[in-house]
Amino acid sequence: MKHAIIGKKVGMTQIFDEAGKVVPVTVIEAGPCTVTAKATAEKEGYDAVQLGYEDVAEKKLTKPEKGHLDKAGVGYKKHLKEFRLEDCAALNVGDVVKADVFAEGDKVDVTGISKGKGYAGVVKRFGQGRTPTTHGGGPVHRHAGSMGSSTDPSRIFPGKKQAGHMGVEQVTVQNLDVIKVDPELNMIVIRGAIPGPKGGIVYVKSTVKKLIVKKGDAGVSSNPQKASGRNPQKASARK
């Protein structure tokens, strides 16, 4: 079953698992979110729900936003996001979605806006190499160098990797593990890093990755062309 929620990145920390190993985790203040609208296959052509997160003053909304939320009658929300879920029929306008829609062990995808890095050169932005630092390299060691456009086509094609604004892009990190869920604190703890600065808005969704089910441990092959078939002793030693 697919679930989704809007949250805010609190920051990173570390916890210890049962084996005593350090696990780097990101803490997310997830929800509570209110269902502000529904899309149905009969009217819009698809099934989806719109969630609203974080209360906001009426004066900070535009007239279309205010009218949309007045129609729902669920109060004024600062952040709205639509999600296509499998159980949209089970949710109605006004329902509250909390952090406990996820459980420990779930796999999730987290979407956020990456940190802004300002104006960056090609070395930092794309990892391009520098020019030689000796033998007449000159003061252009980190420059992009010649573009080689010549007379034909006499221009730079769109998409050329050049210096420019770095960061502030929508980034999705997939297949992350949910380590802990605390509904009372509206907290979801996820293994690893997620995009965005502290306080940034993130969208947590059930992962779209398919879980691969192992069919069992690999044994010794009977194919003589394989290493385990030519030398079974060596193959068994690797276990």
Per-residue model confidence (pLDDT) at position 138: 79
Helices (H), the chain: 63-72, 122-126, 227-230, 232-237
Average pLDDT of the segment spanning 99-103: 89
Q: How confident is the model at residue 218 (pLDDT cuts 50, 70, 90)?
A: low
Average pLDDT of the segment spanning 141-170: 87
**Residues 121 and 163 sit within 8 Å (Cβ to Cβ):** yes
Q: Please give the backbone phi and psi of residue 113, each rounded to the nearest 5 degrees, phi first.
A: -95, 120
Q: Exposure of 52 by Cβ count < 10 A (0-12 exposed, 13-18 middle, 19+ buried)?
A: buried
Structure token pair of residue 58: 């009426």
In whole angstroms, how far apart are CA 198 and each of 22, 113, 165? 22, 11, 21
The rounded distance, in Å, linking the Cα atoms of 10 and 198 is 5
Of the listed ranges 69-83, 88-102, 173-187, 222-236, the one predicted with least confidence: 222-236
- The yes-or-no verdict on residue 233 having pLDDT over 70 is no
Per-residue model confidence (pLDDT) at position 136: 78
Comparing CA positions, the residue from 108, 61, 100 lying closest to residue 80 is 61
The rounded distance, in Å, linking the Cα atoms of 44 and 81 is 16
Reported pTM:
0.79
Domains observed in the chain: 4-128+161-206 (2.40.30.10), 215-239 (no CATH)
- The yes-or-no verdict on residue 116 having pLDDT over 70 is yes
Which percentage of the chain shows pLDDT scores above 90?
Answer: 44
Strand pairing partners for 14?
A: 24
- The yes-or-no verdict on residue 230 having pLDDT over 70 is no
Structure token pair of residue 128: 């391009």
Q: How confident is the model at residue 235 (pLDDT cuts 50, 70, 90)?
A: low
**Residues 101 and 3 sit within 8 Å (Cβ to Cβ):** yes
The rounded distance, in Å, linking the Cα atoms of 193 and 196 is 9
Per-residue model confidence (pLDDT) at position 64: 92
